[in-house]
Structure formats: structure tokens, C-alpha cells
Copies of this chain bind each other. A is one copy, B any other.
Amino acid sequence: MVQRKTKKAVVLLSGGLDSATTLYYARSKGYELSCLIFDYGQRHRREIIGARMLARKAGARCVLLKISLPWKGSSLLDAKQALPPAVSVRGIPTTYVPARNTIFLSFAFSYAEAIGAQSIFIGANALDFSGYPDCRPAYYKVFNSLSRVATRTGIEKKPIVVHTPLLHKTKKEIVLLAKRLGVPLALTWSCYQGGRKPCGKCDSCRLRAKGFAQAGVKDPLSD
């Protein structure tokens, strides 16, 4: 008799390298996986398409939620604003979307509680990152204490835990982990722009290129 998997996890999946690696990491830990993908008005749909393909490939369930942030407040959501060109911008760059991960995680809380999942996985990274507040360790520490008081399961049973397996990894380490876990790298998309090929210039492209170069791995998207 095949034993039924009982460990359930909700994975926040953007379709980028980090979230794809996180998905495969959770898969390697034996979780029954439910992915949550957001269409929140980002500049292109390329990463959403990739995310759906990644979820399917990993054998995960997948929910796509469309949300709107009509107040924008980010160059990532506002086509009239230019994207910052490079990692060198000091402080929090204009691509920061106000409270984005808090919104994503609150939906993940809701989804996890409704399906009885005790774990949420998010590919946040605080080393080779853009400086966003909601990618930092202090943020996840507080968010995990919110879990104890915010949900029925947190009060009556056990709090849902937000796992951030990539939080303290360099981009190089993430690329190596992705390789080891068999992440279909050609399906991942990190560029802030859409199009057929990554722009190679934005913050996200540069961080990705650095990771692949340092890991000595060829990025399939760079062909």
C-alpha cells in the first residue's frame, strides 16, 4: 500500500530562480505541494507562465490569484517609471513594491489554514538581494510570531511556519542548490522586463548572472 503524504506545504512561486529552487527544496523534503502564484500587475506575464510550468513539472497543485494594487508605489508596477539600471542603487530601490511579501504571505496563511498545511515556503534571500525590507531575517522573525496569533490553527493547534531556506545563501549557493535538486532552470525567469530574452541589465538579471558565473554553471537563458 502506498503511504499517503501528510505533510502539506504552500509554496509562494514567482517563477524566478529563487522561488523555483525553494519549490524543489520543499519537494525534496517530502511535502505535498500547493503553489500560490500572483498576477499583481507586474510588467510582464512571462514569469507567471513560467511559474505555472514549474509547478506542473514539480507535480504541485497550483492556484493563480489576480490581485490589484491600484496605488502602485513601485517602478515595477508603473510603466511610466524607469527601472533602476543596476545593483549599485543605494538603499531600497524603486522596484520595491510596498508590502508585497506581507500581502503574499497573508494569502498563503489563508490558503495553508484552509487546506490544513502547517508550512509555507518562500524564496526570500537577504544576501544577494535588492535590499527589500520584506526579504530580511528580522521581517521573517516577526512574521512567524504573527502566525501564533493570526489564525485558528495557531491558537487551537500549531502555528503555521514560514520557511525561508534561501534566506542566508549567496546567489552562487542558490544556483548550486538548484542544480543539485534538478530545478528546470530554463523555465525560470528573473528579469524585471518581459520579452524573449532577459535584458541583462536590471538588478535581477545582474544578480542572476553573478550567481551563475560564480557557481561555474551555464545559464540556459543566456544562449
Binding site for B on A (CB under 8 A): 63, 65-73, 91-92, 96-103, 105-107, 109-111, 113-115, 133-134, 136, 138-139, 142-143, 145-146, 148-152, 154-156
Contacts and interface: CB of A to CB of B under 8 A. Distances in A.
B71 A152 contact: no
A133 B114 contact: no
Is chain A's interface secondary structure helix, strand, loop, or mixed overall?
helix
A44 B100 CA distance: 28
Contacts of A66: 68
5 contacts: A63-B70, A63-B71, A98-B111, A133-B149, A146-B146
B139 A113 contact: no
B149 A71 contact: no
Contacts of A99: 106-107, 109-110, 113, 150-151
A158 B91 CA distance: 16
Given A72-B114, A110-B100, A114-B72, A142 B145 contact: yes
A154 B133 contact: yes
Given A92-B155, A103-B103, A156-B91, A111 B71 contact: yes
B110 A69 contact: yes
Interface centre among A91, A103, A106 (most CB of B within 10 A): A106
Nearest to A34: B71
